[in-house]
Structure 1
Amino acid sequence: MACRISRLTPQNSVLFVCDLQEKFRNQIKFFPEICQVGRRLVDAAKLLDIKTIATEQYPKGLGHLVPELGLQERPDIPIYDKSKFSMCIEPALAHLQGKKNVILFGIEAHVCVLQTTLDLLENKMNVHVVVDATSSRTQENRKYAFKQMKQAGAVLTTSECVILGLLGGADHPQFREVQKLIMESAPDTGLCKL
């Protein structure tokens, strides 16, 4: 039986950025690469006028989001502190009104990203997890987190698939600007080694 995958559009989607914080920099596999891919998603969301939400897990101890994402230059992106693993806290959930899809990336795949995915699915949202912008401290945790998310009903996808899917075609008014973001291939984030 075929599974229906909800089509992403700028109007029906929200981008969730999960906990890419300074303290994790030297612990997460492929951290610089997933940040680079994450920045492409944040920039594409800006060009396509897609609401973006970010969280920081216990920032007092784990630091703030890394500057590579460019979120500090974006006062339009709310950044919420949290202590529970899931991003599904009241202020973040308020941004889901009228939306069907959440595009999700960040760390760690087997903790905060997985818990966010499960909560969103329970809230009847379609969840598109961007695997080349999501990681963990170990490849084993990453691999099995992706398996759990897929089995729960999330769509596992790539940054380029998301970005081009949001455009819908070369006739989109922002096509040339967004195309510049993907002209260079995304960096290797270790997925072929899983």
Structure 2
Amino acid sequence: MSVRNIGRIHQKSTAFFLCDIQEKFRSHIFQYPSVVATAQKMIAAHKILDIPLIVTEQNPTALGQTATELDISQAKVNIPKTKFSMLVPEVEKELQGIKSVVLFGIESHVCVLQTALDLLENNFDVHVLADGVSSMNSFEIDHALNRVKSAGGFVTTSESILFQLMGDSKHENFRSISKLVKETKEATASNKLFIRSNI
């Protein structure tokens, strides 16, 4: 009897993918501040939980560097790319022992979607954060998330993922993550990406 893949996620076999949250997108992306706020939460969590952070920048000469609010100084990988998908050779070689990827960034229907599809095709579990992805045109978001789901990916939220990664209130980082969730409560509550999602 085959075992159904329900998308269990574990701290030691997970990587966070921050996709192209760049300066030049700031005035063009729907609810850009919400994308940044979720990314800040996940960056803080990557430091607390010691989960590798993979960062890419799409054609940074034209689109600028990663948003200045985001501290990516401890990223395992931080590279420019021209391919829409983040799964470039420099990233792929850093994924030994990784089973699950938590994906957030922009644009939902381009780089995020193509990254998700490439990862799924290479047998990674993909968890896309509904409160952490966006596009220039807001209507593209739900279509992209539905496409991820139809391909076998999982659409979830940042807070849900953080508690799934711990799994138990006895986890050594439970207090630190709980504190992070409390500190970001206002930003989470006002996140219009999550509020508008039909997924």
Answer whether TM exceeds 0.5 for this pair. Answer: yes
Shift of 1:140: 1.0
TM-score (norm 2): 0.92
Query: Cα–Cα, structure 1 residues 76 and 190, in superposed 2: closer, same or farther, change >3 Å?
Result: closer
Tell me the secondary structure at the aligned position of residue 94 of structure 2: helix
Aligned to 2:54: 53
Tell me how large the CA RMSD over aligned residues is. 1.4
Q: Match of 1:66?
A: 67
1:141 is matched with 140
Q: Structure 2: how far apart are the matches of 1:63 and 1:193?
A: 28
Provide the residue aligned with 2:88 in structure 1.
89
Cα deviations by residue, 1:120-143 (Å, 9 ceiling, x for unpaired): 011011000011010001111111
Q: C-alpha separation between the residues in 2 aligned to 1:13 and 1:78?
A: 14
Q: Secondary structure at the match of 1:191?
A: helix
User: Partner of 1:7: helix, strand, or coil?
Assistant: coil
Could you give the per-residue CA deviations for residues 39-89 of structure 1, whole angstroms, max 9, x where no partner exists? 101111111010111000000000000021211xx2443211100100010
What secondary structure, in the 3-state scheme, does the structure 2 residue paired with 1:190 have? Answer: helix
Name structure 2 gaps, 5 residues minimum: none
Corresponding letter in the other structure for 2:169: A
Identical amino acids, percent of aligned pairs: 39
2:164 maps to what in 1? Answer: 165
Change beyond 3 A, Cα 1:79–1:181: same
Question: Partner residue of 2:33?
Answer: 32
Distance 2:124 2:165 in 1: 17
**CA–CA distance in 1 between the matches of 2:157 and 2:75?**
25
- TM-score scaled by length of structure 1: 0.94
In the alignment, which residue of structure 2 is the partner of 1:78? 77
Q: Which runs of 5+ in 1 are unaligned?
A: none
CA offset at residue 12 of structure 1?
0.9
CA 1:158–1:76: 2 relative to 1, 3 Å: closer
Count residues with an aligned counterpart. Answer: 191
Do the aligned partners of residues 151 and 94 (structure 1) sit closer, same or farther apart at CA in structure 2, a change above 3 Å counting?
A: same
Give the superposition deviation at 1:192: 3.0
Q: Deviation per CA, 1:113-165, whole angstroms, max 9, x where unpaired?
A: 00000000110110000110100011111110111111011100000001111
> What pairs with 1:16-31 in structure 2 (closer than 5 Å)?
16-31=17-32
